[in-house]
Every structure is written in structure tokens, then in C-alpha cells.
Structure 1
Amino acid sequence: MSDTPISSQPERLSRQSDYELEKLQLSFEFFPPKNDKMEERFWVAMDKLAPMSPRFVSVTYGAGGTTRDRTTKIVSRIEKDTGVNAAAHLTCVGASKEEVGDVIRGYQEAEISRIVALRGDPPEGVGMPFQPHPQGYKNAAELVAGIQEIGDFDISVACYPEMHPQSPDWHGDIENLKRKIDAGASRAITQMFFDNSDYLRFVDRARNAGIHAPIVAGIQPIHNFTQVANFAKRCGTSIPAWLADRFEGLEDDPETHALVAAAVAAEQVTELVDRGVTEFHFYTMNRSSLVFALARLLGRRPA
């Protein structure tokens, strides 16, 4: 990220025209709560962020479909209770085409028209080798095509600014993304990244390969540096040395940790806006404070 002082960032954003602010598209990602206490926190976060007029909010889908029923229930309730568009995640790992088709038709019955289609990670965890089900989809591009055969859905897919850990090379990685878009996906949402140059180079690679769909910047506010760093290591996202230095020694100082996390996220999104980026997908971890502040910083106000 740039060395622009944080104090100048609100001034930069305030100079944006109303037209530029109107172009901004925000979406928020949640995971389905596992118990009553987590569900209470989920709805507190949802109620805080819903008035920020997101394009949609998405709800994840556990490895092997372990949270399928909760995902469907939560997504359906979001649309009915808040009026916000909601997307359900869908993976094809460990399932036959028939089983995946049943989930898609279940989404239709629940009046869910948006899907985030992912190949998915094996139940053993992120980074483990993927083995397609003998009667299943081999990859996310096939999954997107299968969804399109069943109904008219708005489909988002994933992409990886630092290349998917299992891609053989950049050519193969970009070609895989192109197949997903050509199969019918409307946009690609990036895995989290912390060096904006990785994202910008990835967009250039995609455009040079003839991919013109939006490539939405996936932003991970750092609510807990240790947890985020551990997940980043498993999914192939780099943690720059300067970022680790900022959080060093803050494990037992939550107040300072929160302030540093807010500054880091603010630097990242404002620099991207300066570079012309207008679409952001925030990984909320079912927490609203940091994401709400970032949406405000981007000029979004509660409806």
C-alpha cells in the first residue's frame, strides 16, 4: 500500500463526485451461526450493515455442505426480514451432480436467486488435494454450467490474486477463471489479499486474457491478526512483513489492535479507490464494526 498519511484519506474521498460514489458497489460475507449466542451476534451485525445498501450479502456453505440447511434458512430470512438481496454459497465437493441439483432446486423453492459457486475444499481442510465425486462436478466451471441448466441465477465465483495454491502456473489459473466466467458467472470475487499490487496485477492478467467481468476486491478486516494469519497461510495468501510488524505485540492489547486494524483496512480500501476500484466484498466474520466504518469511509450512509 501507499505511504499516504491516514489523515489525508477522508479528504481524498470527500473530493469524489457524487457520480463516483454512486458507482461504488459493496457486498458483505457472513457464515451461518452454529448456536443461539452466535446467531444473536449474527443478527446484530446484519442489522447494522443492512442499511448500508449492499448489492447483496452472502452466507457461506461449510465443507461438504455441512451447513447447507442453515445457509438456506439464513439467506431466505435475510431477504424476507431486511429486504437486502442475499446470496447462498454452494460447493460441489463430496457431492454428486444429483445431490448438488437438489440443493439448487431447494434454493429456487426458497426464492434464492443468487449463488456464490465454489469448487470447495475437502472436509479435511483448506489446501488438501481435491478429489471430485465420481458422479460429481470436476470443478467450479462445471458447477456454474450446471446451475445455469437448472435456473436463472446471478452467479459469483472466486479468484485468487496470488494464484490458487493448486494451480500449475498463472496461465492455468487465469484460464480456469475464464472458463467460470464463460460458463455463466456474472463476476469474480477475490480471495483476501493485503498487497494491493497483487490485486492490480491480477486484474491486468485477467483483462489481457479477455476476461471483462467485474473482479471484485475481497477485503478482510483484521479482527484477530493471529487467526487471519493462520488462515492466510493455509489458503496461500501472503502476509507482508510490514503488516505483521504493525500487529506485533498486540495479542493482549485489543484496543490498540482494533485501532491498527481500522487504519490498515482504511489504507487498503482508499488506495484501491484512488486506483479506480469501485467494487468491494467484505469478509465480516459476523462482526460489523470495522466493516461499517469502512463503508462509511467509502461514502456509504445508512438508507
Structure 2
Amino acid sequence: MKTQKQHERTFSFEFFPPKNDEGAKKLKDTWTELAKLEPRFFSVTYGAGGSTQARTLETVLDIHKNSGVDAAPHLSCIDSTAEQMRGILQLYKDNGLRHIVALRGDLPSGMRDPGEFRYANELVEFIRKETGDHFTLEVAAYPEFHPQAPNALKDLQNFKRKVDAGADSAITQYFYSAEAYFRFVEDCEKLDINIPIVPGIMPITNYKQLARFSDACGAEIPRWIRKRLEAFGEDTASIKAFGEEVVTEMCDQLLKAGAPGLHFYTMNQAGPIKAIWKNLGLKPEPR
């Protein structure tokens, strides 16, 4: 089993931009709590076609100025021009940001032409050309393979293109099979991909929502987990307790085997993350 013990272990948390002032207040309460865990960075997602760009910037700047934690905006290139990207990068630089999660993004419904950038490697290459080493660049990785990839080898080659274009590290799509992650890391090392590949972790709190997300993004929920969750029906307390146990055990397995940290998809909630963090015995403890 290949591991990534040569890389420094880092932890990070992902949020989505709030839709209104009430959501913004709740999110601030969440990142205030999670900042106590002293993560490496907080990332903030970016809607398809830049639909939440304004909220992303507003949220990122609030976090950057007030949380004491590095903020990393997501930047997707679909439906964007080079001039627009140049302006966004300058805006981030002007506001002191030094960390970006660079993604292709999803093609909005009905769109045929993706714009000047077709793939994430082109965005990474553009950012490096425009800004040099100013930004730490994260890219996406898919241990269970991208749903639009024709085959596993093609998906690995596409990932390597992002790395060769200048990515510093990668965050994976969430998964519930540690073995899928370990095999992915092995395959990457055979292609001389040696950047940190941080597992993406999705807590289980709402089975119907999780099933919908997973079907859309190609993340597999193992049959035994699905069946257990289905059996709980509307018993949300049992779903959360079982989900916490399953995800904690997987995170423990990943870290013990040398995974270079964890990236939590928070769904803008602190509670599930703090519970898993405490179960794992990670420091600092939540206050």
C-alpha cells in the first residue's frame, strides 16, 4: 500500500457561499467555531458559470480578514474569458489572497461552448503564466474517477496534466472506500505524480441529500452503507450516529496509512466536523 507520509499533514474545511444575510450569519458562526481547530485553510465554492462569484468574494474576504485562517476561493473556468480571469486574479491579489482551488467547473444546462478555457489544466497554466508563484494552487482529484472520463487511464492522464501545469496539491472528491484512495495514490505515483493528494471527506447527516449528491457527481456509496442508511428511514439521530462512526473510522484508517491530511466538505455545519475531529483525537481540541 502506497502512502503519502513524505508530505506535511494539513487539514482544511470547505464552505459554500450563503444565499442571504441569514445564511451569512450562520456561516460566520460555523467558520468561527471551526477556526478554533486551526486548519490550514478554508475554501469557498464558486457556482457554475460564476453564478455565485460575488458571494464567493464577499465570503472569502470576510474569512480572510476576520478568521485568522487562510482563505482559498474556488475558481472555475467554464464560461470565462482570459480577460475576466485576469481581472479576478488581480482582485484576489489586491486583497491579499494567496490560495486558490482551480477547477474546470460544471457546464451550465444548455451551454454548448465552454468559453476560452475547456479544462482545469488550462486554467492552472494561465494562473501560473499571469501570477507566477503568487498563489498556492489546489486542483481536484477523483479516486473513483470523474463521471465524464471515458476510462480510468484517461482520467489519470487528465489529472497529470493539471499537476504538470503547476498545481501544488490536490483535494479529492469525497468517497467512502479508503481502498479506492490508496489505489488512486499508487496509480498516481506510477505516473510520477508526487504532489500531496488530500482526501475529501463528506460527513453523513442526511441520507437522501447525500444520495442525490453522489448520483450527480459519481461518488460511490458502498452498498452496505446505503442499506444501513435506508433502514433508518426518517430516524435522523440514528443516521447521524451511524454516519459519524463510519466516517470517523475511514478518516482514522486514512491518517494511519499516511494520508497528508483531510479536507472536510462541511455543508456549512460545524457540529459534524467537530464530532469527527474529537473522535480522531486531533489537536487542538474544539473549545
Normalised by the shorter chain, which TM-score bucket?
over 0.9
Trace 1:2-41 onto structure 2 (pairs within 5 A): 23-41=8-26
Query: Which AA in structure 1 matches 2:205?
Result: H
Aligned 8 A contact 2:172 2:198 in 1: yes
Aligned with residue 126 of structure 2, among 124, 142, 146: 146
Which residue is equivalent to 2:59? 74
| SS class of match (1:41) | helix
Deviation track 1:186-211 (CA, whole Å, cap 9, x = no partner) reads 00110011111111111110011110
What letter is aligned with 1:34? K
Give the number of equivalent residue pairs: 278
Provide the C-alpha distance between the structure 2 equivalents of 1:219 and 1:104, rounded to a whole number of angstroms. Answer: 28
Q: Which moved further from structure 2: 269-278 or 224-233? A: 269-278
TM-score by length of 1: 0.87
In 2: Cα distance, 1:81 partner to 1:158 partner: 27
- Contact kept, 8 Å, 2:205 with 2:236, in 1: the verdict is no
- 1:105 alignment partner, one of 90, 113, 118: 90
Distance 2:114 2:19 in 1: 27
**1:168 to 1:131, Cα distance in 2 relative to 1, 3 A:** farther
Q: Identical aligned pairs, as a percentage?
A: 40
Quote the offset at 1:278 in angstroms.
3.2
Of 242, 261, 279, which residue of structure 2 is paired with 1:279?
Answer: 261
Contact 1:187 1:215 in 2 (8 A): yes
Residues 37-64 of structure 1, C-alpha deviations (whole Å, 9 max, x = no match): 2112111110110011101010000010
Which of the numbers 201, 210, 213 marks the counterpart of 2:195? 213
- Following superposition, the deviation at residue 92 of structure 1 comes to 0.7
- CA apart distance, 1:106: 1.4
Match of 1:59 among 44, 48, 66: 44
Residue 122 in structure 1 maps to residue 110 in structure 2: no
- Whether the 8 Å CA contact 2:196–2:260 is kept in 1: the answer is no
Distance 1:185 1:86 in 2: 17
Does 1:84 find its partner at 2:77?
no
For the residues of structure 2 that align with 1:272 and 1:201, how far apart are their CA atoms?
A: 12
Q: Secondary structure at the match of 2:228?
A: helix
Query: Does the 8 Å contact 1:270/1:298 carry over to 2?
Result: no
Match of 1:300 in 2: 283
Amino acid at match of 1:91: S
Structure 2: gaps spanning 5 or more residues: none
1:268-300 Cα distance to aligned partner (Å, 9 max, x none): 101112222231100000001111122222422
How far, CA to CA, are the matches of 1:251 and 1:100 in structure 2? 46
Distance 1:130 1:242 in 2: 39
Please report how far the alpha carbon of residue 171 of structure 1 lies from its aligned counterpart in structure 2 after TM superposition: 1.8
Partner of 2:242: 260
Distance 1:59 1:269 in 2: 22
Q: Which amino acid aligns with 1:75?
A: V
TM-score normalized with structure 2 length: 0.92
CA deviation profile, 1:236-277 (whole Å, cap 9, x unmatched): 111111111221233422222211111111111011122222
Amino acid across the alignment from 1:278 = P
Paired residue type of 1:301: P
- Equivalent AA in structure 1 for residue 14 of structure 2: E
- Aligned residue number for residue 16 of structure 1: none
2 CA distance for matches of 1:91 and 1:45? 24
Amino acid at match of 1:198: A
User: RMSD of the alignment, in Å?
Assistant: 1.8
Distance 1:83 1:246 in 2: 40
Contact 1:199/1:217, CA 8 A, preserved across alignment: yes
2:167 counterpart (180, 185, 194): 185
Determine which of 215, 232, 244 is the counterpart of 1:250: 232
State the distance in 1 between where 2:232 and 2:153 align.
40
